[in-house]
Amino acid sequence: MPASIIDSAIFQGIFTSDAMRQVWSDENRTQKYLDIERALAVVQGRLGLIPQEAADEIVSHCTLDQIDLARLRAQTERIGYPILGVVSQLNALCRDQLGEYCHWGATTQDITDTATVLQIREGLVLVDDELAAIAAALAQLAREHRDTPIIGRSNLQQAIPVTFGYKMAGLLSAVLRHRERIAQLRERVLVGEFAGAAGTLASLQTGAMETQAGLCAELGLQQPVIAWHTIRDNIAEVGAVLGLIGGTLGKLSMDIKLMMQTEVGEVFEPYHHGRGSSSTMPQKRNPISSAYIHGAISVLRQHAAALMDAMVADHERSTGPWQIEWIVLPEAFCLLAGALKQSRVIVEGLEVDPVAMRRNIDMTHGLVMSEAVMMGLGPYIGREVAHDLVYDICRVALQQQRPLLDLLCENAQIMKHVTREQLATMCDPANYLGQSGLMVDRVLAAMG
C-alpha cells in the first residue's frame, strides 16, 4: 500500500527510477547492515579479537534471505532502531552462542552511518552516469547549433541574439562542474564510521584502530580521522550537491517550458503519441517532462536545506537531527533520479526549430539590434549620445511599426557618418553573435 509518490505503482516511473529506488530500499539497506557486520567479523577474526570460529559462523548468516523482515519491522518499532533487531536475529541464527561476538565493540550509529555511506556511493554512481549521458546530449546540441541564431532574453524581454548552441553549452558547463563536484565529494564522504558509544572506541581495549582501518578497507571506504557521529557536514554536502544538480536541471526545464510556448515555438520536448495532450484541448502539447522536473527539484531543494538542519546535533550522539537524514536523504536521491531521467529524455530527443528562432529574432523589425547600432555609432558620436539617439528612434519604430533600419537611414545626424550598407551590417543578427561560437568550443574542449 504505497503512499508516497516515489513508491506509487502509478507515479514511481515518473518521479524516480527503479535503480535508485533499489539503492534506498529496505532490502538494500538491510543487506548493507549485514555487509558491515560481516566485514567487522572478518576483520576481528583476522586480528584475533574474536574467535575465528565465531567470525566464520557470523559470516555464514550475513545474507538477506536469512533475515525475517516482518520480524525486523516489529523489532524496530519496539526498539526504535533496526540495527539491534538485525544483530539479535544474527545472534539467534548462529550456533553455540557464537553470535554473541557479532557487533563486537560497535554501536548502532556506526552500522547505520556506514550503511548510509555505502548507499550514497551507489546512488552517486547512478547520478553521475545520468549526468554523463545528459552531458553527451547537450554537447551534441551545442555542436550542431554552434552558429544557430536565437534571441537572448533578459527579464523575459528580447535582448540581443545569441546562438542555441551557446545556450546548450552554458548548461553543459554546469553539468561538467557537477561531475567534478561528485568526484571531489567522494573523497570526503565515502568514509566509514566505527567509533563506539561516544566516538572514542573505548569498547575495544586492544585492536581498536586496527579494527576501524580493517573494516573500512574491507568495505572499500576511507578510514575516518575522528568520529563523525554528530559532525554531519559530509552528509549535508551530499544534499547540497544534489540540490545544485537539481537547480541546473530546473534551469533547463524552465527554458524548455518558455521556448515551447505557442507564441515562441522554438523547441519542443520529444513527441510521443498522446504525450502532453489535454483531456479537453486536442491541440495542446504540454511540456510534461519539464513540469515533472520543476516539481521534483523544488522539493529536492527543501531536502537539501533539511540536511543542513540535521547538522545542528547535540553533544556526541544526537536526539532527533540524525533522523532527519533517514527521512530526506533517500527521497532527495530518488527525486533527483527522476529529474535526471526526465532531463535526459528532453535533451536526447529535443526537437529544435531554427526557422522559428530566426522568425522570433525578426519579429521586432530590427529593434533587437539596437545595442549593435549604438556600439557601431559610438566611435562617431559618442556611446552615450548614440544610446539616447537610438533609444528615441526605437520608440518611434515601435509606435509606427517600421523597421529600425529605415528609421536610422532617415536620421541626418546618423547619415553624416555612415552609409545604409554600414547600418544594414550593424542590423544583421548574424554579425552580432559575439564570442558565442568560441565559448561553445571552449566548453566542448573541456569535455576532453
pLDDT, tens digit (0-9, with 9 covering 90-100), for 125-154: 999 999 999 999 999 999 999 999 999 999
**Nearest Cα to 98, choosing from 67, 57, 63?**
57
> What is the model's pLDDT at position 275?
65
Contacts (Cβ under 8 Å, ≥6 apart) of 122 = 23, 28
CATH homologous superfamily of 359-434: Fumarase/aspartase (C-terminal domain) (1.10.40.30)
Rounded alpha-carbon distances, angstroms, from residue 429 to 14, 341, 397, 432: 40, 36, 18, 5
Architecture of domain 18-104: Orthogonal Bundle (1.10)
CATH homologous superfamily of 110-147+163-203+221-352: Fumarase/aspartase (Central domain) (1.20.200.10)
**Nearest Cα to 409, choosing from 417, 343, 344?**
417
| d(C-alpha 336, C-alpha 340), whole Å | 6
> What is the model's pLDDT at position 240?
98
> What is the model's pLDDT at position 140?
98
**DSSP alpha helix (H) spans, 266-365:** 288-309, 321-349, 354-362
41 in Cβ contact with 58 (< 8 Å): yes
Q: Which residues of 132-155 are buried (b: 16+ CB within 10 A; e: fewer)?
A: eebbebbbbbbeebbebbbbbbee
Residue of 285, 317, 359, 402 marked active site: 317
Residue of 4, 71, 188, 278 marked active site: 278
Would you kindly state where each structural domain of the chain is located, as residue ranges? 18-104, 110-147+163-203+221-352, 359-434
> What is the model's pLDDT at position 1?
82
Q: Judge whether 17 counts as a catalytic residue.
A: no
**pTM of the predicted model as reported, rounded to 2 decimal places:** 0.94
For 94-139, the DSSP string reads SGGGGGGGTTTT--HHHHHHHHHHHHHHHHHHHHHHHHHHHHHHHH
- Collect the ranges in the chain with pLDDT lower than 50: none
Q: 100 is written with which cell numbers?
A: 554473541
Q: Judge whether 317 counts as a catalytic residue.
A: yes
Task: Classify 152 in phi/psi space as left (phi over 0), alpha (psi -120 to 50) or beta.
Answer: beta
Q: 75 is written with which cell numbers?
A: 523489532
> What is the model's pLDDT at position 28?
98
117 in Cβ contact with 193 (< 8 Å): yes
